[in-house]
């Protein structure tokens, strides 16, 4: 009798907890087994709800009817479900993720490689996948497809964490080139529009031997489209809540040796406030942005190809407070690259990229005059040599990549002493992928940096796949 009296408070606590939360159970669609470690992202919540043993997820019952929930697992296809108040358990069945092992990626080794041949874990998000899920921006695509990728608004912009690692340790690239404007350890993620993306390649974990110390958490590379038809076009428009309007168009042309791709986007939002107690501070302030991207490819010969690219971006964020200023962001970037196939086993690639990002305050009482607050200008030059060695096996026994890189970054800020500072970084890098036998391969590499302020630094790396 005493034992039952001792258990009564526990039963009461469990009952009260069950009334405050709703249960979701996530299982494998084929076996029916519960999936531990599933992440459930709920609209309006910054954090994810994680499934415990048996695939059980405890969700708050106070959610509005029809709230969208994104159920994700690295080995399963993502599923979007709606919340309901029926009181019974919500069962979700996930189908195993079918990996396209023949798909070619470039981020993991800086060369074109099939996913099945990589010793580095790489995930790909395609434009078709983003279209099916209704994804409208890169932050949403990454959060929905990858458990542990959490974006949220903070201060003057957007930031994120990748499995608890700060944003400054994850490198964002567009066609292999880094973005200027890393203010407060974050890039202006509004620059990354989904309409100009063919796929997103994500490499988790340290990639410092190829990309430097900024890639200790991982690398996210946005690959722009290459026209495959004589004429391709897409015109779209979207209207959402809070007065969010997005319109855009892109055109692709392939004529003979030349390919063109042009993308233009306009996006605006009225903003919203989830904290009425602070009327001078919105959760998301109104803004309006424009973005234009141009890419030209010229195949001079079957062995020599040139690529020219350039873009323009501006965003104006309207401050709802009584301060007579509001911020204005602007970016201009461009570059070119040349790829020369020396032989059937050797390839050389040289590239140069420049990017200038600026932040200004619009002085509303002076007829919209702009005052420069922050500026970041980057120049990157790179040369890579790729060599494949075949000693009679069906696949390469050695896949060598070696080269050098020059990086110059000049920054202006009102918070920096003497206002303007610059750094230079020279890099030598090398990587060799070794096929030991039919079932085991390894990648060994290293990167030697010489920084104009901090001096030399060596970053070795070793990984394997069985």
Tell me the mean pLDDT in the region 50-62.
84
Tell me how long the chain is: 466
Q: Considering only 133-137, 355-359, 364-368, which range has the smallest mean pLDDT?
A: 133-137
SS3 320: coil
Reported as a single tens digit per residue, the pLDDT across 344-354 is 889 999 999 99
Q: Which of 130-139, 207-216, 236-245 has the highest mean pLDDT?
A: 236-245
Whether the per-residue pLDDT at 87 is higher than 90: the answer is no
* pLDDT band (50, 70, 90) for residue 97: low
* pLDDT band (50, 70, 90) for residue 242: confident
Which pLDDT value is given to residue 4? 38
Which pLDDT value is given to residue 152? 67
Beta carbons within 8 Å of 259's beta carbon, 6+ residues apart:
226, 227, 252, 253, 296, 297
Which pLDDT value is given to residue 185? 62
Which pLDDT value is given to residue 11? 36
Reported as a single tens digit per residue, the pLDDT across 195-220 is 888 888 888 766 656 777 677 777 88
Of the CA atoms within 13 Å of residue 326, those in its CB half-sphere come to 16
SS3 231: strand
Which pLDDT value is given to residue 107? 62
The dihedral over CA atoms of 342, 309, 427, 434, expressed in degrees to the nearest 10, equals: -50
CA distance 172 to 167: 10
* pLDDT band (50, 70, 90) for residue 228: confident
CA 102-445-398 angle, to 5 degrees, is 55
Percent of the chain whose predicted confidence (pLDDT) is above 90: 29
Q: Which of 116-130, 325-339, 411-425 has the highest mean pLDDT?
A: 325-339
Considering the chain, what is the average pLDDT of its residues?
Answer: 80
Tokens 């497809």 map to which residue?
Answer: 145
Q: Which residues of 56-92 are buried (b: 16+ CB within 10 A; e: fewer)?
A: bbbbeeebeeebebbbbbeebebbebebeeeeeebeb
Which pLDDT value is given to residue 380? 96
* pLDDT band (50, 70, 90) for residue 378: very high
Which pLDDT value is given to residue 263? 95
* Sequence spans of domains, the chain: 1-97, 230-465
Whether the per-residue pLDDT at 14 is higher than 70: the answer is no
Chain centroid to CA 358? 22
Reported as a single tens digit per residue, the pLDDT across 137-149 is 787 788 777 766 7
Which pLDDT value is given to residue 108? 60
Give, for 6, the enclosing helix (H) or strand (E). Answer: helix 2-20
1-97 and 230-465 share one CATH topology?
no
For residues 386 and 72, the model is more confident at: 386
The pTM is what? 0.74
Task: Note the CATH number of domain 1-97.
Answer: 2.60.40.1120
Q: What superfamily in CATH does domain 230-465 come from?
A: TonB-dependent receptor, beta-barrel domain (2.40.170.20)
Reported as a single tens digit per residue, the pLDDT across 1-10 is 444 343 334 3
Tell me the mean pLDDT in the region 241-250.
89
């Amino acid at each position: 009798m005493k034992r039952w009296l001792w258990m009564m408070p526990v039963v009461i606590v469990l009952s009260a907890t069950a009334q405050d939360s709703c249960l979701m159970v996530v299982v494998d669609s084929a076996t029916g087994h519960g999936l531990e470690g599933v992440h459930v992202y709920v609209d309006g919540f910054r954090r994810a709800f994680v499934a415990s043993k048996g695939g059980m997820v405890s969700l708050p019952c106070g959610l509005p009817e029809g709230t969208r929930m994104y159920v994700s697992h690295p080995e399963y296809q993502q599923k979007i479900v709606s919340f309901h108040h029926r009181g019974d358990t919500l069962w979700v069945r996930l189908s195993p993720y079918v990996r396209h092992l023949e798909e070619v990626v470039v981020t993991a080794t800086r060369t074109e490689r099939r996913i099945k041949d990589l010793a580095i874990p790489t995930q790909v998000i395609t434009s078709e996948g983003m279209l099916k899920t209704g994804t409208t921006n890169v932050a949403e695509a990454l959060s929905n497809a990858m458990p542990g990728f959490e974006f949220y608004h903070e201060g003057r912009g957007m930031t994120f964490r990748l499995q608890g690692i700060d944003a400054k340790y994850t490198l964002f690239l567009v066609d292999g080139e880094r973005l200027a404007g890393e203010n407060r350890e974050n890039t202006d993620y509004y620059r990354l529009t989904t309409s100009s993306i063919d796929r997103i390649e994500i490499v988790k974990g340290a990639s410092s031997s190829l990309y430097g110390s900024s890639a200790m958490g991982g690398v996210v590379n946005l690959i722009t489209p290459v026209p495959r038809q004589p004429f391709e076009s897409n015109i779209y428009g979207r209207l959402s809540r809070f007065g969010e309007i997005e319109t855009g168009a892109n055109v692709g042309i392939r004529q003979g040796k030349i390919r063109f791709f042009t993308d233009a986007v306009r996006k605006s939002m009225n903003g919203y406030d989830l904290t009425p107690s602070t009327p001078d501070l919105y959760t998301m302030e109104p803004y309006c942005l424009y973005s234009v991207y141009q890419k030209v490819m010229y195949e001079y010969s079957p062995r020599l190809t040139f690529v020219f690219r350039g873009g323009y971006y501006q965003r104006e964020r309207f401050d709802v407070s009584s301060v007579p200023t509001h911020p204005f962001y602007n970016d201009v970037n461009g570059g070119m690259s040349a790829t020369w196939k020396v032989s059937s086993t050797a390839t050389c690639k040289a590239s140069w990229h420049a990017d200038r990002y600026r932040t200004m305050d619009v002085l509303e009482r002076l007829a919209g005059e702009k005052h420069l607050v922050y500026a970041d200008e980057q120049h990157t030059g790179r040369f890579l040599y790729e060599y494949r060695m075949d000693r009679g096996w069906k696949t390469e026994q050695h896949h060598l990549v070696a080269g050098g890189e020059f990086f110059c970054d000049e920054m202006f800020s009102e918070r920096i002493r003497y206002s303007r500072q610059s750094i230079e970084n020279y890099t030598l890098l090398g990587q060799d992928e070794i096929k030991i036998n039919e079932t085991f391969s390894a990648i060994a590499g290293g990167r030697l940096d010489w920084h104009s302020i901090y001096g030399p630094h060596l970053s070795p790396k070793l990984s394997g796949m069985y």
